[in-house]
């Protein structure tokens, strides 16, 4: 006798909807930024431009999405 299937990890009804992240009113996405000094996730606008902070350096994904 076969056992009844209880729950599936691939249940489309249990999946969460993809979130949209905004920075200064524009959509952003995470990108892996590799520099000579370090590697980290940065934020990028849909146009492909990096999100830059006030000092002109790329913002990390965490800093771009704080409080969201």
Residue pair 21/29 in contact (Cβ under 8 Å)? The answer is: yes
Phi–psi pair at 29, nearest 5 degrees: -140, 155
pTM, two decimal places: 0.70
Query: Is pLDDT at 68 greater than 60 in this prediction?
Result: no
What pLDDT score does 66 carry? 86
For 1-55, the pLDDT digits (tens) are 666 666 667 777 777 888 899 999 999 999 999 999 999 999 999 999 999 999 9
Question: Which residue reads 């969201």 in tokens?
Answer: 68
Per domain, the residue ranges of the chain are 21-64
């Amino acid at each position: 006798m076969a056992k009844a299937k209880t729950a599936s990890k691939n249940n489309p009804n249990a999946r969460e909807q993809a979130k949209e992240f905004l920075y200064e009113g524009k959509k952003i996405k995470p990108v892996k930024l590799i520099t000579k000094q370090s590697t980290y996730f940065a934020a990028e606008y849909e146009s492909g431009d990096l999100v830059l902070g006030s000092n002109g350096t790329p913002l990390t994904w965490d800093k771009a999405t704080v409080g969201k």
